[in-house]
Chain A
Amino acid sequence: MYSKKVMEHFRNPRNMGEIPDADGVGTVGNPVCGDMMTVHIKVKDNRIDDIKFKTFGCGAAIATSSMVTELAKGKTLKEAMKIGRSDVADSLGGLPKVKMHCSNLAADALHAAIEDYEKHKGTKR
């Protein structure tokens, strides 16, 4: 059902957790649908210096969250905004069709975290 890469990320998720003094936080999905994720970012010199995720959801939801943190880490904010859902799915060796829209929200969470950072830039959080 899932690719080896998906299972590997599900089993050993990268960057799982929260950043207490995060510069931006993005949350997407909701528990009613069965998928919800939160992305915390730390920004330095316009780059994603640190990133952490927390996810409630199926194997695909957890693996895509883990993958998006890997893809985004070290990237400029502009580059990170360009990471899309299909990039995440492709990097994982594909996702089952039924999971493509319901559990592939990780890129959205990343974008929400960046937007949150942009909105609050310059203000003390």
Chain B
Amino acid sequence: MFLSEENMPKAKRIYMDHAAGRAVDARVIKAMSPYMASLRGNPSSVHSFGQEAKQALEEARTKVAELINAESKESIFFTSGATESNNMAIKGVAHRNQHQGRHIITSSIEHMSVLNPCKFLTTKGFKVTFLPVDQYGFVDLTNLEEELTSETILVSIMYANGEIGTIQPIQKISQMVHRKKAYLHVDATAANGQVPIDVSNEGIDLLTISSNDVYGPKGVGALYIKKGVRLEPLIHGGGQERGIRSGTENILGIVGFGKAVEISRAEMFTESERLKKLRDRLIKGLVGRIPHSSLNGHPSKRLPNNAAVRYSFIEGESILLDLDMKGVAASSGSACTAKTLEPSHVLRAIGLKHEEAHGSLLFTLGRRNTEEEVDYVIRIMPEIVERLREMSPLTPKELIE
């Protein structure tokens, strides 16, 4: 059986891989253009050119502070993106506070830019606990309570996981962490722009966000550092960003980030409700109509844009190639799409066997996705799964007949 091309929209492509990257919003580009054309000042300079740049920088800072309800704009530090923010938070807090203890706690489903700095610190005399998660990806709170000691200086738990969508109970985690007088760092890269984040009410000491996740330009991010939290800078130099992150600010990117954040704040509620409906429709269509398929993550406590599923007996990269030929872009946790030849650590941590993780598929929706696109994906999926199952020696005979 060959895939037919007849129901593929000519030249129409459907992008459902927003966790990997997003197109910059047209309004953001518009806001950036005047700066692209004429901005020449350095915000550190005294003259009017410099002061114009400084003003643009501070306006963006205010917008980011408002998005996450930070106590003041002075708690926002711009970086080159989420990876730098995570490194800065983890290594920075560890190095500055090691006289109080050398123990760090994180979870086993964090992004590599959290896991790897933590692993690095174990080579520098720090002890790191990687908390297990349950089948949905929730951090075990009893376990967290047991692991917290007077030696613990930092706990780093993500707001939500981009691969399976699971949203952690941050407020509860924060209460436990603060009872032990440790700092809580939250990587909100996947969650930002989709769910409201309130650092003041949720009790977050450090928060990582990135610009591209709210349809801003890539290469910009921020770290929120609560007033009073002390950390060592990663980058030393001219003392920009109040000495915490030296280097002339990426004004153009930061202006775009500010505009993206402003739009996100205004539209988040309506957009997330729209996405949730699309997500649930997609999940129902992908799992309900095909035997031997399941959802990865929790049915409701998940990111509004995240539809993560898995199919038995077939492998994710093959599914992605078939989808791509029909114009649909998605992602997979299969080893075959990774640089490491290992299936996703997140899928392994929620208890999936290697062969189950290999058949995983991730759709992350965005602003431009429509119900029509979702229905198209639902329509083409059974044929793709059937074709690959027919080829697989693992497929039970009765399923083919």
* Interface-centre pick from B3, B315, B392 (highest chain A CB count, 10 A): B315
Does chain A have a CB within 8 A of B354?
yes
Choice from B2, B325, B353, B392 contacting A55 with Cβ under 8 Å: B392
Does chain B have a CB within 8 A of A74?
no
Please, which residues of chain B bring their CB within 8 A of the CB of A103?
A: 336
Say yes or no: B391 contacts A62, CB within 8 Å.
Answer: yes
1/0 per residue, CB under 8 A from B, across A78-109: the answer is 00000000000000000000110011000000
Please, which residues of chain B bring their CB within 8 A of the CB of A10?
A: 318, 321
Say yes or no: A13 contacts B391, CB within 8 Å.
Answer: yes
Choice from B313, B318, B355, B393 contacting A58 with Cβ under 8 Å: B318
Please, which residues of chain B bring their CB within 8 A of the CB of A32?
A: 353-355
Residues facing A in B301-341 (CB within 8 A) are: 313-315, 317-318, 321, 325, 334-337, 339, 341
Q: Which residue of B lies closest to A1 (CB)?
A: B321
Does chain A have a CB within 8 A of B185?
no
Q: Which residue of A lies closest to B355 (CB)?
A: A31
Q: Which residue of B lies closest to A59 (CB)?
A: B321
Does chain B have a CB within 8 A of A22?
no
Please, which residues of chain B bring their CB within 8 A of the CB of A54?
A: 391-393
Does chain A have a CB within 8 A of B343?
yes
Choice from B3, B321, B341 contacting A98 with Cβ under 8 Å: B341
- Complex: A34 Cα to B356 Cα, angstroms: 10
Q: Which residue of B lies closest to A66 (CB)?
A: B391
Number of A-B contacts (CB under 8 A): 71
- Known A56-B315, A98-B339, A98-B341; contact A31-B334, beta-carbon cutoff 8 A: no
Say yes or no: B336 contacts A34, CB within 8 Å.
Answer: yes
- Known A11-B3, A34-B335, A62-B318; contact A55-B341, beta-carbon cutoff 8 A: no
Say yes or no: B325 contacts A58, CB within 8 Å.
Answer: no
- Complex: A103 Cα to B335 Cα, angstroms: 11
Does chain A have a CB within 8 A of B18?
no
How many chain B residues touch A (CB < 8 A): the figure is 25
Say yes or no: B354 contacts A34, CB within 8 Å.
Answer: yes
- Known A34-B343, A62-B318; contact A55-B393, beta-carbon cutoff 8 A: yes
Does chain B have a CB within 8 A of A37?
yes
Choice from A37, A56, A60, A102 contacting B314 with Cβ under 8 Å: A56
Please, which residues of chain A bring their CB within 8 A of the CB of B391?
A: 13, 16, 54-56, 62
Residues facing B in A1-33 (CB within 8 A) are: 2, 7, 10-13, 16, 27, 31-33
Choice from B3, B315, B325, B390 contacting A57 with Cβ under 8 Å: B315
Does chain A have a CB within 8 A of B279?
no
Smallest CB–CB gap between B43 and chain A, Å? 41
- Complex: A69 Cα to B107 Cα, angstroms: 46
Smallest CB–CB gap between B244 and chain A, Å? 38
Does chain A have a CB within 8 A of B399?
no
- Complex: A56 Cα to B317 Cα, angstroms: 11
Smallest CB–CB gap between B7 and chain A, Å? 16
Does chain B have a CB within 8 A of A64?
no
Choice from A12, A13, A34, A59 contacting B358 with Cβ under 8 Å: A34
- Complex: A42 Cα to B390 Cα, angstroms: 21
1/0 per residue, CB under 8 A from A, across B125-147: the answer is 00000000000000000000000
Smallest CB–CB gap between A101 and chain B, Å? 9
Q: Which residue of A lies closest to B354 (CB)?
A: A32
Smallest CB–CB gap between A58 and chain B, Å? 4
* Interface-centre pick from A33, A34, A102 (highest chain B CB count, 10 A): A34
Smallest CB–CB gap between A53 and chain B, Å? 8
Excluding A10-B318, A56-B394, 9 further A-B contacts by CB distance (< 8 Å) are A31-B358, A33-B335, A34-B336, A38-B393, A54-B393, A56-B315, A56-B391, A59-B321, A98-B341
User: Which A-B residue pairs are the 5 nearest by beta carbons?
Assistant: A58-B336, A58-B317, A31-B355, A54-B393, A56-B392
Contacts A/B (CB < 8 Å), 14 sampled: A13-B391, A16-B390, A31-B394, A33-B335, A34-B343, A36-B394, A38-B393, A55-B391, A56-B314, A57-B318, A58-B315, A58-B318, A59-B321, A102-B341
